[in-house]
Every structure is written in structure tokens, then in C-alpha cells.
Structure 1
Amino acid sequence: MESNKIKYRFRKYNFTPKKHEPTSVKDVMNDIVKSFKMEARYNNAVIMSSWEKIMGRTIASRTEKVFVKKKILYIKINSAPLKNELTMSRNKIVEMINKYLGNEAVTDVRFI
């Protein structure tokens, strides 16, 4: 009967449990968005919802439409002098939005 016994061989693993560190909700959301490949939609939604926070109340009150398409931010403004003023500071707008989002979501700004 001894010959019928099965001998088990166990491999010796150098297993150390992972130390879990706390992560922020923002990091978790960014990981989820990246895994579903929806960064463009997410960035567009964040820019639209927080436009007043990024640019200020006066600019937001004169803005009719804001959207991102292929990393280009399109802005429709109903005030010609404001549009001219913002045209001069396109690079600053791009920097502010990318800084707010934490990644390079916008490369250029165009006014409609």
C-alpha cells in the first residue's frame, strides 16, 4: 500500500506579501480611465465642468461653448474684444488647462 501513496512536492516560493499603500481617488480614477482608453472623453468632461474654475467667472460668463477634439480646445465666445484678448494668450490657456488636468490634454486653442 505504500507504493500507492502520492508524494507531493512543494516548491519553495519566496513570497512576501505586498505592502499596500493608500492611493487617492484621483489616481484610481485615472487608472480606470486609462484602462478603458477613455482619456479624451474624460478630459473633455473635466474641462467642460470646471471651465469657470480654470478661467474665471468673467470669461466663463461670456463663453457659449467649450469642447476638445483631437487635443485641440475649441472655444466659442460671444464677445469680440475678449476673443481678441484670449487669442493673444493661447499658450497660457493651454498651460493652465494642462496644469489643472495634470497631463497634456490640450495642445492648441482655437476660437470659433
Structure 2
Amino acid sequence: MAKRQNEFHSIQDLMKDVIKENKLTKGMQRISVNDAWAKLMGNGIVSYTQSVEMNGKTLVVRLKSSVLREELSYGKEKIVKMMNEELGETLISKIILS
């Protein structure tokens, strides 16, 4: 019978270990980026968003509206900064709006 360890670990630490052991980090980051985009941009912009993808350290956002794409292009640096703050780490260094 296996011996039980009496060490206590937080669920957050255990989840991080499971994610690391199963090599799920990129998938979890992809989910986090999508959630952060939806939270920061709001329903109006999200309704015109086709996809949000990470390509290395580049965030690629496909939009349905050329007018919205032009408008967002003026604030790329601010969007990158806000996304990294929301994610809690520097995952994004560049954004491409297409």
C-alpha cells in the first residue's frame, strides 16, 4: 500500500504542476489570451473579432471590420501593455491586426 504524504499544497500549485508535466502551457496561454482580449476589449470589439491567436510572442488578431482595424492600429502599444498586465506576464511583444 502506498504511503501517504502529509504535506499540504495549494490547488493553484498543484494545477501548475499538472500543466507543466503534461506540457499544456501553450494551450493554457492561448485560452488566457482569448479571455483577456474579450475582457479588455468589450462586447463591441469582440463581436467584430474573428480570431485571436498567439504566434510566438506576436498576437495576431483577425477583425471583420477594416474601420475597426484602423482605429485599433493607433493604440497597438497600449493594447500590448494592457494584455500583458491582464495576463500577469510578458507574453506579447507585438500585435498584428488583420
TM-score (norm 2): 0.75
CA change 1:24–1:56 in 2 (3 A) is farther
Higher relative contact order (CA 8 A, sep 6+): 2
Q: CA RMSD in A?
A: 2.3
Q: Match of 1:42?
A: 28
1:48-98 CA distance string (max 9 Å, x none): 244321211111111111111111100011111110111111111111111
The letter of the residue matching 2:53 is F
1:95 corresponds to which of 72, 81, 87? 81
The alignment partner of 2:60 has SS state of: strand
Instruction: Give the corresponding residue for 2:65.
Output: 79
Structure ranking higher in helix proportion: 2
Partner of 2:89, secondary structure, is coil
Q: Which runs of 5+ in 1 are unaligned?
A: 1-18
Which runs of structure 1 show a deviation greater than 2 angstroms over 4 or more consecutive aligned residues?
22-25, 27-41
Structure number, greater radius of gyration: 1
Match 1:62 to one of 44, 48, 53: 48
